[in-house]
């Protein structure tokens, strides 16, 4: 089992940072020599217009300390940081930064101020997307990849530390793949550890590499320690952002594409196309590489959703590569009339299961009627109602709404079936186990090493 840090030693950034007022400071600009303008200086300079400071008030309820007195509440000021991920005003931050805030105030480095609203959030991964109204395109943060990070690699954290806006701290990547339990109800998996100072108010801000690319979202600090901070890997954060900004979630539209997990620098390849979907009608096929949707160059799943968002019934031009040939198509999303299974919040029982601990999957039995209606060969399966960010299942592209119908040579029609497979004594000898997923009347598969990670931290 991966080592978990004691919950009582963690805090600071995860708690909503409290301040009576914020302090700001402006640095005097001057011409600098080429020796002073190092790659790290340029990285921070280029990222600056895409980083925002977040402030607002929330209500804190306090329990009565003595018998006979009633509980009380008070208004407190809080702060955090965000990054622009779409030029139309979409900003990524931590969920705990904006959770319960009455008015979300956003300030840019050039002192422009806006009021934002929450568009979507994912409490389990502690990420949220907020949006401001803007009359002109915003500068978007450059997004890198967390796949090839190296210990001792130089990084910089940018954020609203203790209310000191646009604070920059530098350091290195201290370690990778840290699992951090911060309380009985909140845990993070597979975090980046850094010694760049991360303080209350840094939450939701970028961890930058020396090229100025965001490679993590700052989220936590170990209280009482020096130089131990944590960030969500950007690849995991972008997977969650793609789900939060999907046209299906925000506009009740759909495209019918299933994509291989894309990261910066790798082609975005179509894994499957749903029968009768807008994507199929447009001529898109499995194996196609999508290079552009509308005005958005596509490197990851989030870019597909960004390119199709806000079309208002119009079609978007799509550029693809197929068998070495460049093709131009059009994709027009349609209203989502499919029977989608939007699950309620998973119960504590499903999140205490072995599937959640080992795989990062919250499951519930799927009615047999689902399979008979679609003339499926399957007699049963388990609907995936939640996927833990950064978990083995999430890294393989398994998403909420999929149906787990088999593992290795065994069927999975009940939670007991999954527990039996995971706890088999010979599971370690099997190495990677093939998982069979039923999605949009198609069977997909992926391989996951069940024995490698063992149990991991639970989430809220």
Phi, psi values for residue 427, rounded to 5°: -65, -35
Q: What is the DSSP letter of 204?
A: T
Question: At how many degrees (to 10) do helices 234-244 and 301-308 cross?
Answer: 30
96 is catalytic: yes
Report in angstroms the alpha-carbon separations of 62 from 69, 248, 254.
11, 39, 44
Q: What is d(CA 348, CA 357) in angstroms, rounded to the nearest whole number?
A: 12
The answer to whether the Cα torsion of 330, 336, 340, 345 is positive or negative is positive
End-to-end CA distance of the chain: 19
Is there a catalytic annotation at residue 124?
Answer: no
Residue from 126, 235, 417, 440 carrying the catalytic annotation: 126
Closest CA to 319 of 333, 307, 311: 307
The overall longest dimension of the chain from CA atoms, in Å, is 77
C-alpha distances in Å from residue 136, one per residue of 88, 89, 458: 8, 9, 42
**CA nearest to 157, candidates 43, 309, 313, 22:** 43
Instruction: Name the E strands within 266-351.
Output: 268-273, 289-293, 296-297, 316-322, 325-331, 334-335
- CA–CA gap between residue 232 and residue 188 (Å, rounded): 8
Say which of 125, 146, 197, 203 is annotated catalytic.
Answer: 203
Residue of 86, 96, 179, 362 marked catalytic: 96
Q: Which of 14, 57, 377 is nearest to 200 (CA)?
A: 14
Which tokens hold the place of 135?
């009359």
CA distances from 272 to 287, 442, 443 (A): 8, 8, 10
87 is catalytic: no
Tokens of 454: 């063992």
Structure token digits, residue 7: 């919950």
Q: Active-site positions? A: 96, 126, 203
């Amino acid at each position: 089992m991966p080592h978990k840090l004691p919950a009582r030693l963690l805090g600071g950034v995860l708690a909503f940072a409290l301040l009576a007022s914020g302090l700001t400071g402006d640095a005097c600009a001057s011409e600098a020599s080429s020796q002073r303008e190092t790659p790290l200086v340029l990285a921070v300079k280029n990222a600056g217009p895409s980083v925002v400071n977040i402030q607002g008030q929330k209500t804190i309820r306090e329990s009565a300390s003595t018998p006979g007195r009633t509980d009380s509440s008070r208004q407190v000021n809080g702060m955090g940081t965000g990054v622009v991920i779409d030029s139309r005003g979409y900003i990524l931050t931590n969920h705990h930064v904006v959770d319960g805030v009455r008015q979300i105030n956003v300030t840019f480095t050039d002192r422009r101020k806006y009021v934002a609203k929450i568009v979507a959030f994912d409490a389990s991964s502690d990420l949220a997307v907020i949006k401001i109204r803007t009359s002109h395109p915003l500068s978007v943060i450059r997004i890198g990849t967390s796949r090839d990070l190296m210990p001792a690699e130089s990084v910089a954290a940018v954020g609203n530390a203790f209310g000191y806006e646009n604070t920059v701290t530098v350091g290195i990547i201290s370690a990778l793949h840290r699992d951090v339990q911060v309380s009985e109800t909140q845990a993070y998996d597979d975090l980046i550890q850094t010694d760049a100072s991360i303080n209350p108010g840094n939450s939701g801000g970028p961890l930058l590499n020396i090229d100025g690319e965001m490679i993590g979202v700052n989220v936590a600090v170990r209280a009482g320690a020096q130089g131990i901070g944590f960030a969500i890997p950007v690849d995991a954060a972008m997977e969650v952002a793609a789900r939060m900004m999907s046209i299906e979630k925000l506009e009740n539209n759909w495209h019918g594409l299933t994509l291989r997990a894309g990261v910066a620098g790798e082609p975005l390849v179509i894994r499957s196309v749903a029968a009768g979907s807008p994507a199929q009608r447009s001529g898109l096929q499995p194996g196609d590489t999508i290079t552009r949707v509308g005005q958005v160059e596509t490197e990851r799943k989030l870019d597909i959703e960004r390119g199709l968002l806000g079309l208002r019934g119009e079609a978007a031009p799509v550029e693809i590569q197929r068998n070495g040939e460049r093709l131009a198509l059009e994709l027009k999303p349609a209203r989502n009339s499919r029977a989608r299974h939007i699950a309620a919040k998973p119960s504590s029982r499903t999140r205490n299961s072995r599937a959640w601990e080992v795989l990062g999957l919250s499951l519930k039995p799927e009615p047999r009627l689902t399979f008979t209606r679609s003339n499926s060969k399957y007699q049963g399966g388990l609907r995936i109602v939640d996927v833990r960010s950064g978990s083995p299942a999430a890294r393989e592209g398994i998403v909420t709404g999929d149906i787990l119908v088999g593992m290795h040579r065994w069927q999975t029609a009940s939670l007991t079936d999954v527990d039996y497979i995971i706890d088999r004594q010979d599971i370690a000898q099997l190495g990677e186990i093939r998982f069979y997923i039923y999605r949009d009347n198609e069977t997909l598969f992926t391989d996951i090493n069940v024995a490698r990670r063992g149990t991991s931290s639970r989430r809220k």
